[in-house]
Amino acid sequence: MKAIIPVAGLGTRMLPATKAIPKEMFPIIDKPIIQYVVEEAINSGFEEIILVTHASKNSIENHFDKSFELEATLENRLKRSSLKELKNIADLDVKISSIRQGEALGLGHAVACAEKSINDEYFAVILPDRIMSMHPLRKNKNLKKMRNLYKNKGYQSILIEGIKPNLISSYGAIKFDKSFDPKKAINRINGIVEKPQKNKAPSFFAVVGRYILSPEIFKYIPKVTKSSSKEIELTDAIHSMILSGQDVHSVKLEGKCFDCGSLEGYFEAILEFGLRHKSLSKPIRKMINNV
Ligand code: G1P
């Protein structure tokens, strides 16, 4: 099963840091964000990753490529553990390919750019802004669960989380049907609205950035009317697909997912990963106490 990771976004929420460096390459402790996301896909059972990328983002592809010079230098300097880390990245158990998104026309357009690589199979869309908490009990379960839901029941699904009402205008908001039971982990959904105002939101359950979709979606993306920011929203294509009778289910997020596309979420991720790091945890706690 393939996973599309759209990485062509301009990262305007994180300027000026993103002026010359892709946001996906920002480090969380010792690994770039994109590596956590790729590892999540691998641990959830995906065998092929399609990066939808942009000319200015070559560093992402380079990160997963072999680096002969660096490997030779580390070998000569007997830096065995760094060398091992480096080799592990290039030897990840997954095929990574990339496709260019020539124009910044939004998430729906980015997904449509990968259509030819998807053939007629169900696939995942993984947004690289969002990374999962490393808590040992919660690690990598959400996407795996969604993948299994497709395997066992044929479900298309969207990962969601309940959020504070004043944050809903930054996310896709889920509309449920009458059968909705907030205690259930899986519910059928009736629609999605992209970034609604608080008083117009159908619920305060937000789209987290993990989707399992059928190739049917490719019929709906070209019909989407561009948003006020001239983007083709994936949300709008999913909404039309639901309205024309296709079933889509929500899966409630277990654990925590950081929004690294925002300064606050990025910092929170660094803090949590640092506090769970075997050699950094103690010094960080000390530093915090001394601030
Ligand atoms: C995208 C989606 C939105 C979703 C969000 C999750 O928005 O369009 O529905 O809730 O990711 O992070 P973006 O953050 O790209 O504006």
Calculate how far, in angstroms, residue 1's C-alpha sits from the geometric centre of ligand 1.
23
Specify the pLDDT at position 64: 83
Q: Which of 171, 228, 256 to mutate to test the pocket of ligand 1 (most atoms within 8 A of CB)?
A: 171
Please identify, by atom number, the ligand 1 atom nearest to the C-alpha of residue 209.
6
Calculate how far, in angstroms, residue 209's C-alpha sits from the geometric centre of ligand 1.
6
Residue nearest to atom 13 of ligand 1 (CA): 171
- The backbone region for 121, taken as left when phi is positive above 0, alpha when psi lies in -120 to 50, beta otherwise, is beta
Residue nearest to atom 11 of ligand 1 (CA): 209
Please identify, by atom number, the ligand 1 atom nearest to the C-alpha of residue 235.
9
Give the side-chain half-sphere CA count within 13 A for 103. Answer: 7
Give the side-chain half-sphere CA count within 13 A for 128. Answer: 31
Q: Is the peptide bond before 16 cis (omega within 30 degrees of 0)?
A: yes
Calculate how far, in angstroms, residue 208's C-alpha sits from the geometric centre of ligand 1.
7
Calculate how far, in angstroms, residue 229's C-alpha sits from the geometric centre of ligand 1.
14
Specify the pLDDT at position 69: 75
What is the distance between the terminal CA atoms of the chain, rounded to a whole angstrom? 47
Specify the pLDDT at position 135: 67
Calculate how far, in angstroms, residue 256's C-alpha sits from the geometric centre of ligand 1.
16
Q: Which residues line ligand 1 (CB under 6 A)?
A: 107, 127, 129-130, 171-172, 194, 206-209, 233, 235, 259, 261
Residue nearest to atom 9 of ligand 1 (CA): 172
Calculate how far, in angstroms, residue 62's C-alpha sits from the geometric centre of ligand 1.
26
Specify the pLDDT at position 13: 85
Per-residue pLDDT reduced to its tens digit, 171-192: 999 999 888 998 999 999 999 9
Specify the pLDDT at position 136: 62
Calculate how far, in angstroms, residue 67's C-alpha sits from the geometric centre of ligand 1.
33
Query: CA nearest 20: which of 32, 11, 29, 31?
Result: 11
Calculate how far, in angstroms, residue 211's C-alpha sits from the geometric centre of ligand 1.
11
Specify the pLDDT at position 213: 98
Per-residue pLDDT reduced to its tens digit, 131-152: 998 766 556 689 999 999 999 9
Please identify, by atom number, the ligand 1 atom nearest to the C-alpha of residue 9.
15
The whole-number mean pLDDT for each consecutive block of 10 residues of the chain, a chain of 291 residues, reads 93 89 94 93 93 90 78 72 72 86 93 94 96 71 95 96 96 93 93 96 97 97 91 96 96 93 92 91 91 81
| Number of other residues whose CB lies within 10 A of the CB of residue 163 | 17
User: What residues contact residue 192 under an 8 Å CB cut-off, 6+ apart?
Assistant: 158, 172, 173, 174, 175, 207, 235, 238, 239, 242
Q: Which of 169, 189, 207 to mutate to test the pocket of ligand 1 (most atoms within 8 A of CB)?
A: 207
pTM over 0.95: no
Specify the pLDDT at position 139: 62
